Amino acid sequence: MKTFAVLQLAGCAGCEVSLLNADEWMGGYRLAYMPLVISAHDVPEVDLLLVSGGVRNEEDLYNLRRAAPQAGKVVAIGTCAISGGVASLGDRDDVREVFLADRERHHVPHLLPKCRPIDAVVPVDQYLPGCPPTPELFMALLTEPPGFKTGAIVCVECRRKKLKDMRPSRFAGFQRGEVEPDICLINQGFLCIGSSTRGGCRAPCPRAGHPCVGCRGPSDSLIEKESAVWMSSIRRVISGLTDIPAAEIDHELRSPHLSLFLFQFSDYSSPGRTPRPKEKVM
Ligand code: SF4
Ligand code: SF4
């Protein structure tokens, strides 16, 4: 039986909870290490190492450098391991001022100057984006079912209808108001970026009436493109379905509620970043 381990760096444990909601891997794998549920001193040699969380402090760096070379294959799971995610909020100056002050910190690992994705430290064989990736995606990663296929973009899996004659002239705000069940959320004035986001999650957010905020990152067609390209792609979709002025669309695209995930769209193709070929991204 193959073995796998879950190394948790700086994150929220949401990826681990999602993995624990999947169980079809149990017949084919033995879970050898996962501090959330198994007591073990160290990461053993395993066939597959799933890494969640960003490299935020010296302990993360040490643990990742120790564990990755012993694994047959390394997979970065979730937004934090791939692009920094919630842990990278600590790069904000006000947060750093508190947590980097020596007088405030005793017996905790030193923060690194910046939160880093794991592929800045070790080679990564595969990426599983999402915040968190759904249980179904974890099962697909571990069991590789024949015929498993994901929609190219979230819109394909959402299946709400895009209408040409329902054109709001302003945004309705984020998750407010009544939502029509079968009509595209953009037609209803919500800022949904499912048209640029990679599928695979089965669109739980827009199907439930909440706009997609892009946690799965860029679709294959945008993954190697610069910020200007995916920004104009999102802008074009919204302009095609609404009469909202371009300046307002741009303003909303830069709003805080999108910033946690939208930044990762450019992260895939940043200069100086290890290339992330789409073939490696699930
Ligand atoms: S834009 Fe959003 S709501 Fe509209 S079809 Fe795409 S995912 Fe669904
Ligand atoms: S619908 Fe969008 S925000 Fe929701 S899980 Fe899928 S990619 Fe993430």
225-268: pLDDT as tens digits: 888 888 899 999 999 999 999 999 998 888 777 777 777 777 77
What's the gap in Å between 186 CA and the centre of ligand 1? 7
One-letter amino acid identity for 34? M
Q: Contact 99/56 with Cβ under 8 angstroms?
A: no
Identify the residues whose C-beta falls under 6 Å from ligand 2.
154, 197, 201, 203-206, 212-216
Give the range among 86-100, 206-220, 267-281 with minimum mean pLDDT: 86-100
Q: Give the closest residue to 217 by CA, choosing from 199, 239, 204, 237.
A: 199
Instruction: Give me the chain's average pLDDT, please.
Output: 88
For the CA of 213, the nearest ligand: 2
Q: Which atom of ligand 2 is nearest to the CA of 158?
A: 1
pLDDT of 101 higher than 70 = no
What's the gap in Å between 145 CA and the centre of ligand 1? 27
Q: Give the closest residue to 186 by CA, choosing from 264, 233, 241.
A: 241
pLDDT of residue 215: 94
Q: Which atom of ligand 1 is nearest to the CA of 194?
A: 7
What's the gap in Å between 160 CA and the centre of ligand 1? 6
Pocket probe mutation, ligand 1, options 150, 154, 197, 237, max atoms within 8 Å of Cβ: 154
For the CA of 136, the nearest ligand: 2
CA distance 264 to 270: 10
Q: Give the closest residue to 47 by CA, choosing from 32, 66, 25.
A: 32
Identify the residues whose C-beta falls under 6 Å from ligand 1.
154-155, 158, 160, 162, 184-186, 192, 194-195, 203, 206, 212
For range 106-122, the mean pLDDT: 84
Q: Is residue 3 classed as helix, strand or coil in its secondary structure?
A: strand
- Which residue's alpha carbon is at the smallest distance from atom 8 of ligand 2? 215
Question: For residue 13, what pLDDT band results from cuts at 50, 70 and 90?
Answer: very high
**Which top CATH class is 2-147?**
alpha beta
User: What residue spans in the chain does CATH classification 3.40.50.700 cover?
Assistant: 2-147
What's the gap in Å between 162 CA and the centre of ligand 1? 8
Instruction: Quote the percentage of the chain above a pLDDT of 90.
Output: 63
* pLDDT tens per residue, range 167-207: 999 998 766 667 999 999 999 999 999 999 999 999 999 99
Q: What phi and psi, each to the nearest 5 degrees, are found at residue 162?
A: -90, 125
Tokens of 70: 């012993």
